[in-house]
Each structure stands twice: as structure tokens, then as C-alpha cells.
Structure 1
């Protein structure tokens, strides 16, 4: 019976290879319309992707991508060991029939959506990272960006420092403590910033936070009101975008050029913006370094308007050529800069410790805001990090990782150049950072290549996902810090296979030879 239903439905699906719309999108649209029309009722079992592809005369990957989109949107569901079925309750029906009897989970979700405040809805719908249909294995595959070389971190040493702290524990240190953070750690961070990053600060100005996103959120809540204009880079780190949106800010996307954020554009569209978020040392994700003239222009504007600058130095430790320009904070003569740093990239993301450098006049306000957020950071982690820095393990680790990442970047560039990708993918070295941009020709959209790469076991990120308004750069982000030479070479070979197989303009052809 199910087979007859599907054969009848198949007669309504017509794909046009000559259309500008990709085949997988045509198939997704036709399948969705067929399901909504009731031709394929709820509970109908669908054929395997391989059998369906053979029937339609298209690549299996075309079917896989269409099925994945239908699965993501709630039109079909997969049952392990059984197959793929049409859902009984469709998302469109939920929209049309709000009073229909729903499952308890669906009811709770619908109720939550109606009960959220206006700000709550903004927070709930804020994307802090590109959405990927990756499983746990793919999360650790090349070329996942933003992840340090965790296998190279001295966890044994870290555990020894932690054990030493426990052996000599002072019970009074584990009560409610200073919201600004463990003072010895603040002292170590201030010394590090003064000597290694050129930041002018005292330990009193250091506020320990749970990461850069918390620092951004606290700054926005303290220094702007809901509805205030806030400049953000376009493209921009999604975590910063989410943190600012959650504070109620009205985001003003300002484009990035070869010198960094376009201050003149920002002044033209929002001259009295309350705040600006920038990554001047190594713009995320494009990698641009803000020029000295542009830094001075931004500081002059902030001083003149009384605006605030959030300077996020998320991976400033990793510079491989030339000398870094002075931080905005060190150039600031009007105390308009809040400098933000984190240990996620230089140590490990699981260590939820970051910091901000407050202007002197705002120290008490930031401490109060920190206390209101979650009282204080985890004390043992702060103590162990203090010892790690005081005994100079931190400085040695940074030097070792800088050399390691520089070599891995060079490996990635060479691998890309020697894998017959030159006519498809442009991968050039960068003076800093933990990822490279791989620029694509306009005929291949970065989002489509990302989906195909994921199906082939490769974790790349489309740069276009980080844009809000301006025409996006059509490129992929390739992280290299977490991967050794063999993993980089295997990843490039797999990516090359995906890209070369799409030359017929069928973005799903890369999986034609998939035997799974």
C-alpha cells in the first residue's frame, strides 16, 4: 500500500536539470508540496535515498540533501533500523490549527513561544553559531574553526596544579568571593596584558567573566539602553551579535574593508550610536587588521560622541608575521574602550574564564553587574589558572602553540595549492589567527558547498552566514589549529573531491560514489 502511494506521488515530481534552481531544492519543494497536499499521508514510508535517486535519475546526494531539509523542518522523520516516514503532524498544520490537540512537547514549545517577552523572543531566536547538521564525530573533523590543539595542551600538568590546590585548600576561599574575580589571577592577567599585549591597565581594572560573550552582554547592559544603536562589524562574530541583541540593542551593520570597520559609513548611517563592537587585531571572520588611521578615527568619534568601544581581542596571541598594532585601549585618551579577552582559544574552550578591562570610572559598576549576573567565577579554575600563569607555563604554552599553528597554516596552504584546487578555491596565508578563508567562485555558493562537505565528513563554515546586510564574501572558513598534517591533507583531498564533483553545477554530485 505504501509503495503504491509513493509511486502515485512520484508522478507529480518533475525535476528540470536546466533550471537555475538546484536539483535538491526542486526535489525538496516538490516533496513538501506532495506531503502537504496529502498525496503522501502521515506514516507513509519513503524509499531509501539510493533507490529514490535511481528512480529519479539523479545523484543520491541530491536526495540526501532534500531529505535532510525536510527532516530539519519537521515533514519527515527517521527511525533507526526502520526507515524514513512522513510525519503525522506537519509544521504547516501547527501554524494553521493552533487549537488542534498536540503532543505535550509540542504544546510546551508553543506555550513557551507565546509567553516570552519581546526581549525573550529576540534572545531565543538569536543565533550564536552557524547551524550545522553535524554529528559528534564531525564536530572533531577538519576543518572545524575556533578550536585550539586540545591534544597538545598539558592536561597532566593542569591536573597536578589542581591537585596541589586541593591538598592545600583554604575553606574560606570557597565561600562567596569577590565578584571581580580572584585577585591573584587579576594581577597575573594585568601583568600579562601590559607586557604581551600593550594594554595599559591595573589589576583593579580586570573583571573576571565567564567568557567574551558575557563581557559583551554586561557592557551592553551597563552602557546602552534597549533600542540604542550599536555598530557591529558586517560580517560579525555571531556570539557578539547574540549578546548585543539579548541586551535590546538595535544593531547597525557596518561593512569591513581592507583597513577594518568603515568608520565613515558608520558615522553616516548612525552618527550617535551608543556603542561599537570591533575585532581590530584580527577581524572575525575575514582576518583584516584595522589600520592605525582607522583606529584613531574610531577613537576620535567615540570621544566626540561619548560612545563606547568594545574591543574583542579573541586570538591576539597568534600572530606569525610583523608586529601587532597598538590596541585601541592603549591608544585611548578618553577612557571609551572596554578591552575583552578570553582563554578559550589559547587554552581550552571548556575553561569558562575570560576578562574585561574596565575604564577606571566604571570599575564599581562592572563589579555590580558581574555580581548580578552569576555572583563570581568558579574559584578552583581561577586558582589553577593563576598558578599556570605565575609559574610561566602559560607563556611557554603560547609560544609553543604559536609555532605549531604557524606550521599548520603553512601545511594547509601548501595542501590546497597542490590538490588541483587553484581554479576552484583560493587559499592564501594570513599573518595571524587560527583559520583561513578559502574563497569560492560565484558559481558555487558557500552554503551549498558546506552542506556537501558535511555529507562527506568535512566540517567547513560558510562565511556568508556571518553577514547581516552587506553583500557577503563567498568563502569557506577552514580551521587548522586543531589538526595535524595528516588530518589537514586528508581533509583537503576530501574537499577537493567534493568541489571537483560539482563542476556539472549539480551541488549534490559530490556523493555519487558514496556507498553508504
Structure 2
């Protein structure tokens, strides 16, 4: 029986942002397209390839499962895994040449490296909750209680889909506060938003799928999606949120729409009801999926929090995503996604193949935190605190910059957007200004970095700054002064 072990030379680059399993997938596809692997060829065993690449067997298994799902490989039990006899999409050497030609064409790029603000708690970091106001004593007591409890689950492998009581609490919370009707079986706990996106893509996406993406939009999600092979189509955002009519005119057949409807990232606008209905109508007619990132909707300072887009979904086309990173603290690495009813079994299978599963201890502590009422009380306190701190920082920035910037006070969220007015020599270079601010120890981001083409003429220039950790007026003034010095160069 033929084997490809000698002919196939797979290499991975651990410096790449792309996950290793996706790199393995791409290497196999390239080898098949180039003719190095032919239909019927046997591919290396899981354990053998994992040893060759010095990676976990589960990582190779994940890649093989993706390739099987896409029709590139076939598993034949004890006989091994083989290149499929009926390959998808005319995969030939000529197709590979065309693929390389397409790859040479202009593509959406990742955000530049100089937009990296690191993983620490530097001042003005967008999206970082008030670490000084987190109820550490209550949290420590809950964690300690679970650690001392002697439950064997604390030492065993966690459920890949999530700790059942936490899934129940999340489902109840979403129904009461966000209008999202779901059962615990639909809720999957993940290790952060990127893990959520990976689960969604493995469940619904195919290589080369097109997706609407807000312009400007959440740059970390953009980086992940680009690395995963999605073809992002930038769609304009105005005072009513994503312009659905323009999006349909540009690409009516996209497979996905990635949106932040409650508090657009980064501009902070809310998707209007009329556009919500148009977006849902498009998804229903096109058979497409809407990925709703409801990342910080708990913090609204004018009126009650708005219902989620998912609450209006009657055709089960919205995939709802939430996180505890903003409402509690990011070190938890706990997020969640509400799967469409038709995809529950598929998501469950994928989480097992991904060897997913967040540590039991933190999941159980969060479930207790919610059940005992601490979560609701914490959110109430943070809304009042953030409403005060956003005013402190906004007033300090306006005082330091004068007529050089404008700020529209957000109705919700955890960050401000300060927009620069053009100077005598044209638009301000916000990338350079943000880089100087980061050198001074501030974790700010240039607004233009959130655009797919940050140097286009229509792009707004400014900075995105977090206000949740600004303790008082004195600190706000000090930080605003540092920003002004970075602006002046």
C-alpha cells in the first residue's frame, strides 16, 4: 500500500499567529494541490505526525478532522487515513497555481505589529475592567470553598462543553437580562473570544468563505479571522451602526456577518432597530450566519441595557457570543457562545475534538458568584463607577487638547474614542501618536488601526482609550497630559 511519509515534508512555524492545526491543514492542502499527495495515498498516523512535528496528538487529530469534514481525507479505521478519492473543487496542480496567483493579489492584512498593547494592565487600556473595584475577598472565598470541597471534578478533565451549572446560570441570565431564549445545552463555555470564533468557524465555515466585517471593527477578531482564511469584506458603519443596505449591494451572498450591535467596537454606536431587522432578513434569505459579539452590553449609562440582536432572531441565524473578561476580569479566560439549536450536536462534537474545556475551579466559582447574587450587585456598582470615570477622563482629555479633538460621550461601554481634527498639514498621524503614548507607558490604540485600510482618505484619526481604571480626577488629568505630550511629539 502506498505511503506518503517520505514524500510529505510538513513544517510548522510556531512564530505564526495562525493556530498549528490550521497550518497543518494548509500544508496538506498545498501538498494535494501540488500533486505530492494523490487520491488513495496513505497519510501519516496521528501519533507519528505529532511526534514528527513535536506537537500534541490532539492538535494533529483536530487538523485531520477538519480535512475529513472538507473532503480532503478519509478515515478507514485500523487501515489508516487516506487522501480522498473524490477531492473537492478540482484540486489539481493548475488549481494550485491559480490559488497562488490569487494569494499574490491584494488581501486584507492583519493589524500592524505596532498596535500591540501587550497583556498587562497599563493605564488607559481599552476593554480592561476596573481591577481596583473587583470584590476580591468574595471571589477568594468562593474559589477557596470549591478548592477545599473535595469534589473529584476539581482534579479531573473538565467537560469540553463547559461546567453544567455555569451553563445553566448563563442561560438564565441571558433570558432575563438580554432577552436571549436558550437552554443550557445551547451554551458552550470557551477559553476567550478567539476560542469562541474558532468553534464557530469549525462548525460553519469553509475555506475562502466571505464575511461582512464592520469598518472600523474589532481588530483582534479581524486578525484571527484573516489568519483562519476568511475573506473579510469591509462594510461601513455610521450613526445607526452597520449599513446593511450598502453591505447587501456590495456582497449579498456572504456566508457570515460579524457585528457588535449593542455597542459597536470601537465607535460605540448602537445598531438601530430598522437595521437589525434588515440584517436578520438578509441572513434568513441568504442562509447566512450573524455572529453577535455582545462584549460589554452590561454597561449602559442611559436607560436600561438594550435587548440583544439574538432576542429578535426568529430563524435561528444569530450566533450569540458573550464574555466574562469585561464584567469580571480577563484572567478568567472564560467566554461563552449560544449555538443555534440545529448545531448543538455539532458544537459538542467539535469541543471534544478540540480538547476544549476551561478549568473546573474557575467555572464553579463563577457559577457560585452568579447564584449568590454577587454578579448582579457587582454589575450595578460598576455601572455607577464607570459612568463617573468616563466623565472624568473625557473632561480631562478635552481640557488638555482643547479644540484639537472631539469626543462623543458613549451611552455605554468601557472606552472613549477621541477623534483628532485635521491640522494645517492634513490628517494627524494617529499611529505615530499612539506609538509614542505606548512608549510612555500608556496602552492606547490608534483609531485608524481598526480599519481594514487604515490609510484610506475616509478613515477617522484618533485614539481609543479605556476609562475603567481611572481612579480620580487627578489621575485623569495626569494621563490626559501624557496623551497631549505624545500628540505634540
After TM superposition, the score normalised by the length of structure 2 is 0.74
The whole-number CA distance in structure 2 between the counterparts of 1:332 and 1:109 is 40
CA deviations 1:281-325 (Å, max 9, x no partner) are 001011110000000000000000100000000001100003444
Partner of 1:449: 433
* The one of 380, 405, 420 aligned to 2:361: 380
Residues 477 and 375 of structure 1, relative CA distance in 2, 3 Å threshold = closer
* The one of 404, 416, 426 aligned to 2:385: 404
* The one of 462, 465, 479 aligned to 1:478: 465
The whole-number CA distance in structure 2 between the counterparts of 1:133 and 1:302 is 34
The 5-angstrom pairing of residues 63-462 of structure 1 reads: 119=26, 127=110, 131-132=114-115, 139-172=120-153, 174-419=155-400, 421-443=401-423, 444-462=428-446
Residues 476 and 413 of structure 1, relative CA distance in 2, 3 Å threshold = same
The whole-number CA distance in structure 2 between the counterparts of 1:173 and 1:454 is 40
Counterpart contact for 1:319–1:431, Cα < 8 Å: yes
The whole-number CA distance in structure 2 between the counterparts of 1:209 and 1:295 is 27
CA deviations 1:348-395 (Å, max 9, x no partner) are 111011101111111111111122223322111111111111111111
Deviation at 1:188, TM superposition (A): 0.7
Confirm whether residue 496 of structure 1 aligns to residue 484 of structure 2. yes
Unaligned runs of at least 5 residues, structure 1: 1-106, 503-507, 509-516
Deviation at 1:119, TM superposition (A): 4.8
Number of residue-to-residue matches in the alignment: 387
Residues 129 and 215 of structure 1, relative CA distance in 2, 3 Å threshold = farther
Question: CA RMSD of the aligned region, Å?
Answer: 2.7
Residues 218 and 438 of structure 1, relative CA distance in 2, 3 Å threshold = same
- Structure 2 counterpart SS, 1:251: strand
Counterpart contact for 1:208–1:377, Cα < 8 Å: yes
Residues 433 and 129 of structure 1, relative CA distance in 2, 3 Å threshold = farther
Deviation at 1:241, TM superposition (A): 1.4
Unaligned runs of at least 5 residues, structure 2: 1-12, 31-102
Residues 484 and 259 of structure 1, relative CA distance in 2, 3 Å threshold = same
Residues 358 and 467 of structure 1, relative CA distance in 2, 3 Å threshold = same
The whole-number CA distance in structure 1 between the counterparts of 2:436 and 2:231 is 35
